Amino acid sequence: MANIVGVLLIVLVLIGLPLNELHLLNEAWFTKGSDAQQVGDWISTNLGIAHGWLYMIFLFTAFALSRRAKWPIPFTVTTLLCGTVPILSFWSERRATRKVEADFAEELAAG
């Protein structure tokens, strides 16, 4: 889930917002209403909404997992906060996956 949220955030921050706001830097190069600005506006609006909803689902899911897996509070808070930073969400998800696999190795092996 953090991977999906992370990809949407990267697209939003590195593609959508710059395309949507470049006309503010140099009106001669990037005009408001241009195709690039409209694509940026679409990405900012639609992916922004999708990212927001999916982030809320991520928070709920990660918190529920943390309670079931009995994670320590610092580990839980770090996992939840890393979902807010582009790129760190990927590390956070891998870190949480490793912890679950290590903590529940016997249950996972039993199937």
Tens digit of pLDDT for each residue in 73-110?
A: 999 999 989 877 878 888 988 999 999 999 988 887 88
How confident is residue 26, by pLDDT bands cut at 50, 70 and 90? confident
Range of the domain at 22: 2-110
Please name the residues in contact with 105: beta carbons below 8 A apart, sequence gap of 6 or more. none
Please name the residues in contact with 23: beta carbons below 8 A apart, sequence gap of 6 or more. 30, 31, 32, 34, 37
Instruction: Domain count for the chain, please give it.
Output: 1
